[in-house]
Homo-oligomer: A and B are copies of this chain.
Amino acid sequence: MKIDPSSPADLSAQIATAIRDAIIGGRLIVDQRLPSEAELAEQFEVSRPTVREALKRLAAQSLIRTQRGATGGAFVNRLSFPDAYAQQITTSTLLLSMNAVSFETACEARFALERACAPLSAERRTADHLATMRAEIHRQAQAGLTDEAFCASDVAFHRALVDGAGNPVLSYQLAGAVEAMQPLMNMITFTARDRARIIALHEGIANAVEAQDGKAVTAGLTALEAETQDLAQSVFAARAARNAGKAG
């Protein structure tokens, strides 16, 4: 592993890239200990702070973990599913919030992906997944629920549906799509009638999942997508009209 001191890029970035490539390329394997900071500094012919900045970059991506003490050091970290979930959600959320992605586009992507899980989930869901879905529907029907809590329950409902497919890779991929929608959904105010319609659709989906009828699950999700898009459109239209009224 070598770096180029004459490169315009920061030394710490170069070192981080070199180590990252070694991890991705399998030359450093999970739980393997990296040389100590002092040794790395010597190898790369830089100072310890520079090495530390490189290691912090890697730590930020969960590629390594560090331990203090006599037998401590930096170790190649196994990227766990929960860590990957968290990164996925953060990235997706920021991507949506920073790039003026329309509600319509995000919503379409989210439901398209979720429909991909529908047949598998209908086939494989356990009683647990079904119970979670029912419990969340029950929660959604409670009076006095804030819009945020309603949305959170909505997310939990859909996660149960996705997890029902029994494919952790699929669950991981969907985590970003489903969770990143939450801030967008939170911009919507749900009237009692809106909630009733959504809950009815959720019940239809849960019933289809219980009956292990993949096509019905897919159809239910499509209907829910249409309902969500309509709702968002009317909310945003009303808001725009109110603002125009203010301006006029």
Write the nearest CB–CB distance from A118 to chain B, whole angstroms: 9
Q: Per a CB cutoff under 8 Å, which of B13, B88, B98 touches A79?
A: B98
Q: Per a CB cutoff under 8 Å, which of B80, B87, B170 touches A108?
A: B170
Give the secondary structure class of A's interface: helix
Residues from chain B with a CB closer than 8 A to the CB of A112 are 116-117, 120, 165, 167, 170
A105–B169 touching, CB < 8 Å: yes
Other than A96-B169, A113-B173, A173-B173, give 7 A-B pairs with Cβ distance below 8 A: A24-B97, A56-B60, A60-B60, A81-B99, A105-B168, A109-B167, A173-B177
Evaluate whether A167 and B105 lie within 8 angstroms (CB atoms) in the complex, with A81-B99, A95-B172 already known: yes
Query: How does the 8 Å CB contact mask read for A75-118 relative to B, with 1 for contact and 0 for none?
Result: 00011110010011011111111110100011011101101110
Interface residues of chain A, those whose CB is within 8 Å of chain B, are 12-13, 16, 23-24, 26, 30, 49, 52-54, 56-61, 63, 78-81, 84, 87-88, 90-99, 101, 105-106, 108-110, 112-113, 115-117, 120, 165, 167-170, 172-173, 176-177
Interchain Cβ contacts under 8 Å between A and B, 14 examples: A24-B90, A49-B49, A57-B59, A63-B94, A79-B91, A84-B94, A92-B172, A108-B169, A109-B167, A109-B169, A112-B167, A113-B113, A173-B176, A173-B177
Closest to A101 in B: B169
B98–A30 touching, CB < 8 Å: yes
Residues from chain B with a CB closer than 8 A to the CB of A57 are 56-57, 59-60
B90–A88 touching, CB < 8 Å: no
Give complex CA distance A56, B56 in Å. 7
